[in-house]
Every structure is written in structure tokens, then in C-alpha cells.
Amino acid sequence: MVTLDLAKGVYAKFIDCDDQMFDPETNTPAHSANTAISEDLGQVEYILSDKTGTLTENRMIFKRCCISGVLYGDNTGDALKDARLLNAVSSNDPDVVKFLMVMALCNTVVPIKSNDDTISYKAQSQDEEALVNAASNLNMLLTSKDSSGIAEICFNGSKFCYEVLDVLEFTSDRKRMSIVVKEVKSGKFLLLSKGADEAIFPRSCPGQQTKTYLEAVEMYSHLGLRTLCLGCRDLGEDEYKEWSKKFQDASCSLDNREVNHSRPYQFIMVHLGL
């Protein structure tokens, strides 16, 4: 057994030192997370791939956005270089600040600070990583997220702390993800959501003009871009407590779990500001 484990360790080191598995763009070598990887690779007989870039390259880059009916990135094809958006960020435009705040907080991303104080992000998907990186490039930096659920963001030199109270995870049925946070300083409760247009638009505020957003989504789709809609709204403390009790009861339910679990989601996902 000792000899076998030693051989596995040596094989794993060979993978780590393989120059052909080095990524020069990110300066990242291969890393064997466990010594059993050689056995796992030895069992692979066939490799099946689709056309989504799973085995080729799947780079998620923030290109364009529509905030309060204003399209950014149309002329340059890159919203991060749009002078109008940069000016709105520097002038603390409230709609732009709210948009970036949703991008930075509505996720399960974990920020990791290195010894030289640079921050990198560990994300479950490239979509979330791309959004958080785009927000940080526009001065909305997610700086920390601790085990107690306190997330800290820094915008234009000011720091804001939020307590993440609940995470409503993305599913293929709901086609959206939401979180409920509490602003530590003011005590205000907020619902932040992101998802597909067909999951967000029907839950927008009554009377809100959605025509511009619908046209923007259609235009971006025709350009071959993946689209995502963001929304948020304030929650009253009593409203949140009532919903939280229903959510906790549904989470503990064993009978008709899927049905009971989806009802609290419907109850709170209304009157979103796009």
C-alpha cells in the first residue's frame, strides 16, 4: 500500500510539472487536487463534447448593458470603456450604483485576498465571476465575505457592509437567483435578483416601462450575446420576517417538498425594479 500511494503521488507530480498543461494567459500550471487522479484518468475511454466550449474555451466577458433605459457599450462594443458609463460611475449616479451593487452582491462568489492585498474571486460559474469582475472594474469591488454572512463592498473609496440573510439558489425551473441582504448601517432589507428575461420581467413593478429593456435584450441576443436581467426592491422588516418564517417552514417540509419550497419564492419575487 505504501508503494502504491507513493507511485500515485509521483504520477500526480508529473501532471503538475507537465509544461503542455500550463496556461500562459493566467500563468497557471496544472494542479492535481488528489493523488487518485491517475486512476481516474486511466478509466476514461471516450470523451463526448458539445459546441458550448466545454472542452475548448468558454470566456465570459461583460460587453454591454442597459441601465434605466440607457444603452452602454453600443459604439465601442465594450461597456467598460464607455465614457458615459465611466462618468456615471464617477458621479455616483444612483441607478448605476444600484445596478453595480446587484452585480457585486447577488452571487455565491468568494473573494480571496492574497498577501499583496490583490483580490481574486472563486466562483461556481464563469457567469458569476465575469459579473463580479466587471463590477470591480467599475469601482464596485467585493472585498470580503466572511463565514457569518457579512459581505463588504467598496465603491469610490466608501465601504458598505451587508448581511446576507437568505440565498434563493438558481434552478432550471425558476431561471433566476435571488438573495436577501440587510444593510448593516441602515438596517434596510433588500431583495436582489438576476435571471432570464422571462423570469424577471413578469415580476417587475406594475407600471414600469419594460419596452426599452425588452428591445435591448432582443438586440443583444441578435448580436450573439448572452443576456441577463437584474432587479431589486426594498423589503419592510415585517414583510421579511413573515416571508422568512414561510421560507424556513418550507425548507423543513418533507411532504411535497418541491411544491412547498417554491411557494415562498413566488410570494417575495414581486414588484422588482429593473
32 vs 4, 73, 79, 98, CA distance in Å? Answer: 17, 40, 37, 40
The β-bridge partners of 178 are 168, 193
Residues in the chain: 274
C-alpha grid cell, residue 274: 429593473
Full DSSP string of 220-253: HHHTT----EEEEEEE-HHHHHHHHHHHHHHHH-
5 is catalytic: no
**Cell 498577501 sits on residue:** 115
- Kindly name the residue from 50, 116, 146, 238 that is annotated as catalytic: 50
C-alpha grid cell, residue 21: 498543461
251 — alpha (psi -120 to 50), left (phi > 0) or beta?
alpha
Neighbours of 268 (CB within 10 A): 23
DSSP state of 5: H
DSSP state of 273: B
The CA distance from 231 to 204, in Å, is 8
* Catalytic residue ranges: 50
